[in-house]
């Protein structure tokens, strides 16, 4: 239920364009406290099957492992089904009335890349049926499990990746939202766009053109001579094996994340630019 409260609070914050102290306290209580890494061998196959069932039929009642909960959430008449882990298994939000083609939106580093979770939730909820599902991490990327960090974009064996792979469709674009520090990347501008490879696709360049009105500097990887292209991202690698190679990796500077959180028109510009690629 805590996930439902988080979605509602974020939607209210982003819709009104301002935050109250009480709302901010609720929001930060979620963002500041990632869930613990689970132990043992969880039944990840059940989670994958559950996600597939919900994606195809929101009325499904799949069997779940004990550390997951399933609940329904309704906002402005739209119905969502949320599959949420009590540990590090991730949060998966499915829109029941979705469109084809569509977008699978992900924010896999919400605790490390501050603001990306709120931005992704805002775009997902405000973007309508084009945004089919939203996936987010539920534990910090630097937490350890079996001697390795729980960084979802590096772990093929993690259930987050397995669920992503199970939902692949040529009619579904995968978009991931990340954040970077200006202190570490002084000349990187505000947005770095890539498809997770050393090649620049037409969609990356189309997105760059669509963002000409952005209140920040937009770069395309690697033509602008920058790093942060997501070339080791395992979800991107998997998605790019498909016939459409339809993966988009967005890196947002800290200052631009703040702008997206405060300025609804700027967030709408990014949202519409993504929808325009379908």
Q: What is the pLDDT of residues 99-155, one digit of tens each?
A: 899 999 999 999 989 999 989 988 998 899 999 999 999 888 666 666 677 789 998
Instruction: For residue 41, give both structure tokens.
Output: 């061998």
- Higher-confidence position of 216 and 143: 216
Residue 29: pLDDT over 60: no
> Can you tell me the distance from the alpha carbon of 201 to that of 75, in angstroms, rounded to the nearest whole number?
36
Residue 71: pLDDT over 90: no
Packed helices 21-31 and 116-127: angle between N→C axes, nearest 10 degrees: 110
Judged by average pLDDT, the poorest of 124-128, 172-176, 240-244 is 240-244
At residue 84, the pLDDT reads 87
Instruction: For residue 114, give both structure tokens.
Output: 């501050």
**Any idea what the CATH number is for the domain that residue 108 is in?**
3.40.630
Q: How confident is residue 73, by pLDDT bands cut at 50, 70 and 90?
A: confident
CA 245 to chain centre: 18
Q: How confident is residue 77, by pLDDT bands cut at 50, 70 and 90?
A: confident
Residue 7: pLDDT over 80: no
Half-sphere exposure of 135 (CA within 13 A, CB side): 25
Per the structure, the count of domains in the chain is 1
At residue 6, the pLDDT reads 52
Rounded mean pLDDT, 158-163: 94
- Token look-up 């033509």 returns 223
Which domain does 245 fall in, by range? 2-275
Residue 251: pLDDT over 90: yes
Instruction: Record the pTM.
Output: 0.87
Rounded mean pLDDT, 212-223: 91
Residue 225 · residue 80 · CB < 8 Å: no
Q: What is the pLDDT of residues 45-55, one digit of tens each?
A: 999 999 999 99
Nearest one of 108, 119, 115, 121 to 150, comparing CA atoms: 108
Nearest one of 190, 186, 250, 188 to 215, comparing CA atoms: 190
At residue 66, the pLDDT reads 83
Q: Beta 144-145 vs 148-149: how paired, if at all?
A: antiparallel
At residue 186, the pLDDT reads 66
> Can you tell me the distance from the alpha carbon of 162 to that of 270, in angstroms, rounded to the nearest whole number?
28
């Amino acid at each position: 239920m805590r996930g439902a409260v988080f979605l509602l609070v974020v939607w209210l914050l982003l819709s009104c364009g301002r935050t109250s102290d009480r709302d901010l306290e609720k929001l930060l209580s979620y963002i500041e406290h990632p869930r613990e890494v689970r132990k043992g061998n969880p039944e990840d196959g059940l989670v994958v099957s559950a996600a597939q069932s919900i994606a195809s039929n929101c009325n499904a009642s799949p069997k779940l492992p004990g550390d997951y909960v399933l609940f329904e959430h309704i906002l402005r008449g739209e119905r969502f089904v949320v599959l949420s882990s009590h540990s590090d298994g991730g949060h998966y939000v499915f829109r029941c009335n979705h469109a084809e083609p569509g977008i699978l939106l992900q924010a896999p580093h919400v605790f490390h890349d501050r603001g990306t979770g709120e931005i992704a939730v805002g775009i997902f909820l405000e973007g309508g049926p084009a945004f089919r599902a939203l996936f987010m991490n539920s534990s910090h990327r630097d937490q350890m499990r079996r001697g390795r960090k729980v960084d979802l974009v590096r772990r093929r064996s993690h259930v987050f990746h397995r669920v992503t792979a199970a939902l692949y469709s040529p009619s579904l674009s995968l978009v991931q939202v990340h954040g970077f520090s200006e202190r570490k990347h002084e000349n990187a501008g505000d947005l770095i766009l890539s498809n997770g490879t050393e090649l620049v696709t037409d969609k990356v360049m189309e997105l760059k053109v669509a963002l000409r009105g952005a209140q920040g500097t937009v770069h395309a990887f690697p033509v602008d001579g920058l790093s942060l292209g997501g070339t080791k991202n395992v979800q991107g690698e998997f998605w790019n094996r498909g016939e459409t190679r339809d993966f988009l990796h967005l890196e947002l500077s800290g200052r631009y994340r703040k702008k997206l959180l405060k300025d609804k028109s700027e967030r709408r510009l990014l949202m519409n630019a993504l929808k325009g690629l379908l």
